[in-house]
Amino acid sequence: MDNSRYADFVTRRRRLNERLDSLGRDVDEWIEGYNGTPSMSVLATLEGLLTERRLLLTRLAELDESFVQYLVTLRNELQPLAD
């Protein structure tokens, strides 16, 4: 396995998760700040936060999928050597 590829995966995944955690707290704080019905202009802020969160979740899923595919390819390349 390419150690730099693994290290890059771990670093990128950690950064995405840190940003997701931070954004999740921002969303929770926003929701807690509005007990009534917020105006449409105020809801635009929540929409922005949720859109960013969705994009980060997509990037995290794509990163995971890419690394899984790398591992499958690596396993397939090494498997004939084990036989």
Residue type, 46: L
pTM of the model: 0.84
Residues present in the chain in total: 83
User: Do 46 and 30 touch, CB atoms closer than 8 A?
Assistant: yes
Side-chain half-sphere exposure of 3, counting CA atoms within 13 A? 0
| Per-residue pLDDT tens listing for the chain (83 residues) | 789 999 999 999 999 999 999 999 999 999 999 888 889 988 999 999 999 999 999 999 999 999 999 999 999 988 876 55
